[in-house]
Structure 1
Amino acid sequence: MAHIDYYFTTLSPFAYLADQRLERIAEAEGASITYKPLDIMALFSRTGGQAPKDRHPSRMAYRNQEVRRQAKKTGMKMSFQPAHWPTNAAPSSYAIIAAQAAGGGDMGALVHGVLRACWAEDRDIAEDAVIRDCLEQAGFDPALADSGLLSGAETYAANLEEAVSVGVFGSPFYVVDSGEMFWGQDRLDDLQAHLQGKL
């Protein structure tokens, strides 16, 4: 069975636009997934990238066009200027880490629920009530928002270090145990083709 390490930030518009395609691909191809939320701003600084606020206007203009095009292609509802972006990604990331450790719910639904809250529902994913709701909607105990904060912080930091060590530099980023790496939701078809032995 193939395994996919999924590196992402809960602030990423492109991770939101991935919807739950990764989960559908993994199910179809018999692959497993480990979710690895990380601090994207720290990742950028470690791997030669820049925070959006520091990028040249031409790069941001292109990024904004691309987000709109990708949203139109998928037909997904999206706020192009979310009311609460950027925000603190750590609380939602800690909750995702705690949920993965606890089990019992739908991880894909949880991750997408958090991303949807930011990018389609104009909710602040740093707020406890929003995180609790996302946990509950995905079948997890909402109390996970409060538990395991220390271990969540440790894993969050460890995910960053691991990402840097394996060559991850953006979000969403998919690393297959074969060694193949795929950056961006627009590479999910290639990821599936790889799992099928075609790429």
Structure 2
Amino acid sequence: MASIDYYLGTISPYCYLAGDRLEQIARKHGATVTYKPVDLLQLFDRTGGIRPADRHPSRMEYRAQELVRWSEFLDMPFNLKPAHWPVNMAPSSYAVIAAQQAGGGDPGGLVHGFTRAVWAEQRDISDNDVIRDILGDHGFDPDLADRGLFVGAETYGRNLEQAVEAGAFGAPFYVVRETGQRFWGQDRLAFLDRHLASL
């Protein structure tokens, strides 16, 4: 059985556009997924990337066109300029970490719930009430929003170090532990599917 480490950002538009395709692929191949939220801005800094605010206008203009193209292609609602972006991604990341450790709910749905809240629902995922709502919507105890802060903060920092060590430099980023094969971007999920089929 393959094991996939999924390095993600809860404010990433491309993680949102990935939808639940990773989970479908994992079920198809009997693979497990470990969700590893990271501070994307620090990941960019550590791996030679450029924060969105510092990118050349040409890159940002292309990014805007590409996001709209993909959302239309995938038939997913999308706000190019969401009301709450950028926003502190740490609280929602801590919630994902705490929920995954607690078990009993749908961690993939939770991740998508946070990204959808940003890019389709105009919600502030740094707000405690929003975090509690999204936790509850996906089968987790809403109190994890408060109880999971310490363990979440510790793991969040470790996830960044693990991402750098694994060769991740953006999100979504998928690493198959058994083979070391890396896949960057929601548009590479078909390649991940093909790779898992070959194992």
Asked whether the two chains share a fold, i.e. TM above 0.5, the reply is yes
CA distance in 2, matches of 1:166, 1:24: 23
Q: Which residue of 2 aligns with 1:75?
A: 75
Which residue type is aligned with residue 192 of structure 2?
L
Q: Which residue of 2 aligns with 1:133?
A: 133
Q: Which residue of 1 aligns with 2:48?
A: 48
CA distance in 1, matches of 2:58, 2:148: 42
Q: Which residue of 1 aligns with 2:183?
A: 182
Which residue type is aligned with residue 180 of structure 1?
Q
Q: Which residue of 1 aligns with 2:193?
A: 192
Which residue type is aligned with residue 187 of structure 1?
R
Which residue type is aligned with residue 197 of structure 2?
Q
Moved beyond 3 Å, runs of 4+: none
Deviations 1:58-88 (A, max 9, x none): 0111111110111011000011100000000
Shift of the alpha carbon at 1:131? 0.5
Which residue type is aligned with residue 86 of structure 1?
P
Flag structure 1 segments of 5+ consecutive residues without an equivalent: none
Instruction: Report 1:48-197 matches (<5 A).
Output: 48-177=48-177, 178-197=179-198
Flag structure 2 segments of 5+ consecutive residues without an equivalent: none
CA distance in 1, matches of 2:127, 2:30: 35
Q: Which residue of 1 aligns with 2:23?
A: 23
CA distance in 2, matches of 1:61, 1:171: 19
Deviations 1:121-174 (A, max 9, x none): 000000001100110000000000001211110100000001011110000000
Please, what is the CA RMSD of the aligned residues? 0.8
Is structure 2 residue 10 aligned with structure 1 residue 10?
yes
Which residue type is aligned with residue 147 of structure 2?
S
